[in-house]
Amino acid sequence: MNVTVTGAAGQIGYALLFRIASGQLLGPTTPVNLTMLEIPEGLAAAEGTALELQDCAFPLLRAVTVTADPVRAFDGVNIALLVGSRPRAVGMERVGLLESNGRIFGPQGAALNAGAAADVRVLVVGNPANTNALVASAFAPDIPAARFTAMTRLDHNRGVAQLAAKLGVHVDQVRGLSVWGNHSALQYPDVNHATVGGIPVTDLVDEGWLVDEFIPRVAGRGYEIITARGASSAASAASAAIDHVHDWVNGTGDQWTSAAIVSDGSYGVPAGLFSSFPVRGVDGRWEIVQGLSINAFARARIDASVAELTEEREHVRALGLLP
């Protein structure tokens, strides 16, 4: 399998590449050709990481390529992990962030369209992830939009871990959590269908804790990590990216998870937006979990997050960043 990681010299890239090369992304029997895409300033560091990858003598790692050319990086790619992006500079407005990243993800979408394998799967990690996925997909008219996704798995995993900690159980007891909407402070981690040991979470915790602690803690966990660590989440983000692609390829069995995928209009999310939904991995595709009841509180939270996605789409359209 040809796997390409963009932003390979960044901190998520450093946490991600070794796990891919060791077989954790695609399983212990799938050889990997790894390509690292960086901007020219990042090439030397990426070359250094390539030397370390060589030194690991991973049995599954067949080739490592470092390049600053997106067309070369995406030629024949099966799995594209779009991590590299322009960080928000001090004083930069959200529109500025959307603009500088739209200028990265449009050309990368076009390069994917030009050369990716027919079965390509794209995961956008770089923020603003949902709208970057929308822009990349818009520039790849020959690739079905369902093959572009954005990462909300870190938010999902954070929610699972918080529930497990609160209830004093292991994470594997927590099922049925859903993250809706945008990967932003307005995301909605929803426990209305979640269970712990088969018991509804809503019977185990009070509403005050859910509204005042759980939701803000999950949505604000990125800031908590930056404050504690002095740097943004990297290993946990890389781990979530591994989980996302692993479950997309191998399926989720009798569980579900959360991922931002193109909306088909389910749950009132306008078709064409890249929104997080509860999803199942089935036969190598993501399927939105259907038929969940949505109460008034959940409806308001989902609508607020989706309104932000609509606004971001309008911004990139107004900036001329959509074809």
| Catalytic residue positions, numbered | 183
| Residue 65: partners with Cβ closer than 8 Å, 6 or more residues away | 33, 34, 35, 36, 72, 73
158 is known to lie in a ligand binding site: yes
Q: Supply the DSSP symbol for 211.
A: I
121 is known to lie in a ligand binding site: no
10 is known to lie in a ligand binding site: yes
- For the bound state, the minimum distance from the C-beta of residue 322 to ligand NAI, rounded and expressed in Å, comes to 18
Give strand ranges (E) for the chain: 2-6, 32-37, 61-67, 79-82, 121-124, 148-150, 174-175, 178-180, 188-190, 195-196, 199-200, 257-262, 274-282, 285-288
- For the bound state, the minimum distance from the C-beta of residue 210 to ligand NAI, rounded and expressed in Å, comes to 22
Residue type, 154: L
Q: How many other C-beta atoms can be found within 10 angstroms of the C-beta atom of residue 129?
A: 26
Nearer to ligand NAI, 153 or 195 (CB): 153
Nearer to ligand NAI, 85 or 275 (CB): 85
- For the bound state, the minimum distance from the C-beta of residue 104 to ligand NAI, rounded and expressed in Å, comes to 4
- For the bound state, the minimum distance from the C-beta of residue 315 to ligand NAI, rounded and expressed in Å, comes to 17
Nearer to ligand NAI, 101 or 252 (CB): 101
Residue type, 57: A
For helices 296-318 and 129-138, what crossing angle results, to 10°?
50
Q: Which residue is nearest to ligand NAI (CB)?
A: 10
- For the bound state, the minimum distance from the C-beta of residue 179 to ligand NAI, rounded and expressed in Å, comes to 10
Nearer to ligand NAI, 41 or 206 (CB): 41
291 is known to lie in a ligand binding site: no
Q: How far apart are CA 152 and CA 183, in angstroms?
A: 6
Q: How far apart are CA 199 and CA 201, in angstroms?
A: 6
13 is known to lie in a ligand binding site: yes
Q: Supply the DSSP symbol for 116.
A: -
Nearer to ligand NAI, 84 or 176 (CB): 84
Interface contacts to ligand NAI, rule CB under 6 A: 6-7, 9-13, 37-39, 41-42, 83-87, 104, 125-127, 129, 151, 154, 183, 232-234, 237
242 is known to lie in a ligand binding site: no
Q: Supply the DSSP symbol for 290.
A: P
Q: Which residues are annotated as a binding site for NAD(+)?
A: 7-13, 101, 108, 125-127
Q: Which residues are annotated as a binding site?
A: 7-13, 88, 94, 101, 108, 125-127, 158
